[in-house]
Amino acid sequence: MTTEPIAAPINAWHVAQQQFDLAAERLGMDQGMRRVLREPRRELTVHFPVTMDDGSVQVFTGYRVQHNLGRGPAKGGLRYHQDVSLDEVKALAMWMTWKCAVVGIPYGGGKGGVIVDPKKLSMKELEGLTRRFATEIEVLIGPERDIPAPDVNTNAQVMAWIMDTYSMHQGYTVPGVVTGKPISLGGSEGRYEATARGCVYTIVEAARHLGLDLKTARVAIQGFGNAGSIAARLISEEGSTVVAVSDSTGGIHNPGGLDVARVIGWKKEHGTVQGFPGAMDISNAQILEVDCDILIPAALENQITERNAGKVRARLIAEAANGPTTPDADLILARNGVFMIPDILCNAGGVTVSYFEWVQDLNRDHWSEAVVNEKLRGIMVKAFGETLEIAKREDCDMRTAAYLLAVDRVANAMAMRGLYP
């Protein structure tokens, strides 16, 4: 009996650097600028104590990384996950730099995380952990310096605690220190749906470019959290048929189509999409290989690799997650004629509406959801068009084009500023 060799884990930071190197090479960037942009500006590691409900004290490890501040303050989420690592956070911070540059908003890239499984914490423990972590990273964050936001396993409540903690230390309310807050504390209308909505706006543009009729398109979605479940609802509103979805426990498949509203209800009731009546249970790996027209990876990094890229049957991939495809897989997908909407473009709706929220907070203003969605559509459609234009002009795939656009913008900003002192 032969067993498949176990693949070595993929290092997200090495992937991020590799993607940057390809763009820098193609742009003919000078070596000094490459050295600057290849590394993060700052990396903060903190080890902090939290009193648990049973009276014991646990020490947690957290990170905040600022990759580049050339175009503005650092911007990026905070994730709570047992597999968080410094290299992962560095990669995500770098991707945020490019993401903000692709859509043209005045931020640099940042990211943070705590090594913890929040599902094992009580609400009181979660609040204690959040407030203490916020206090530890307060040396870096601030509305003009570094603005955190929700990410994996964090939400509006976590942002509210961080905003309150920071404000208590300042002595006055500072709503602009984080985005993704509750509406009642200066959050923006449309923020909760923004990542998925921006993703669907780019899918509509890509479908138009490819001559793909969304009314007959079949869609598979890996990841059924915030981005995935909302993308499922929005894409079905475009007339497409969602044939498969998955969450961290596994997936379901029905070639005839799934009733998205009922699946959302089922997951809420059972904590999993699996077991949904009228659908076949499949694994998270299998969902990537389902027969469909559009595949939306909306889970974690490194899901499409050289091992499974050749089995992807979708014609269009829209990366709602960060870094779901490795560089080796990109080559295979491009060779097979798969059209890719890369993460730094596809899921930039979240940071774009975070930017809107920040602007509203700084101006003590509040926009309607219609205004937010219209502004978001304008930015996503423009960024898609600019990226597609570069892809055609340079005869390259969309990821390379997005990187050429983003890296060039950041390098230009850095070159204009010069080196201090």
Answer yes or no: 111 catalytic.
yes
In the block, tokens 């990410």 appear at: 151
- pLDDT by 10s per residue, the chain, length 421: 545 555 667 888 998 999 899 999 999 999 999 999 999 999 999 999 999 999 999 999 999 999 999 999 999 999 999 999 999 999 999 999 999 999 999 999 999 999 999 999 999 999 999 999 999 999 999 999 999 999 889 999 999 999 999 999 999 999 999 999 999 999 999 999 999 999 999 999 999 999 999 999 999 999 998 899 999 999 999 999 999 999 989 999 999 999 999 999 999 999 999 999 999 999 989 999 999 999 999 988 889 999 999 999 999 999 999 889 998 999 999 999 999 999 999 999 999 999 999 999 999 999 999 999 999 999 999 999 999 999 999 999 999 999 999 999 999 999 999 999 8
* pLDDT value for 378: 98
- Our CA angle for 149, 153, 154, nearest 5°, is 30
Round to whole Å and give the CA distance between 77 and 113.
Answer: 8
Coil, strand, or helix at residue 148?
strand
Strand-pair partners of 218: 241
* pLDDT value for 5: 52
Q: Residue 417: phi, psi to the nearest 5?
A: -75, -35
Would you say the C-alpha torsion 80, 86, 92, 98 has a positive or negative sign?
positive
From the candidates 111, 181, 215, 267, give the one annotated as an active-site residue: 111
Residue from 229, 224, 394, 213 nearest 315 by CA: 213
Coil, strand, or helix at residue 365?
coil
Query: Can you give the residue ranges of every domain in the chain?
Result: 39-183, 194-346
Q: Which CATH superfamily is domain 39-183 in?
A: Leucine Dehydrogenase, chain A, domain 1 (3.40.50.10860)
- Architecture of 194-346 per CATH? 3-Layer(aba) Sandwich (3.40)
Residue from 194, 98, 27, 196 nearest 402 by CA: 98
Strands (E), 118-259: 146-150, 218-222, 241-247, 250-253
Q: Mention every residue, 6+ apart, whose C-beta is less than 8 A from residue 419.
A: none
Coil, strand, or helix at residue 150?
strand
Question: Does this chain's domain 39-183 share its CATH topology with 194-346?
Answer: yes
Is the Cβ–Cβ distance between 264 and 236 less than 8 Å?
A: no
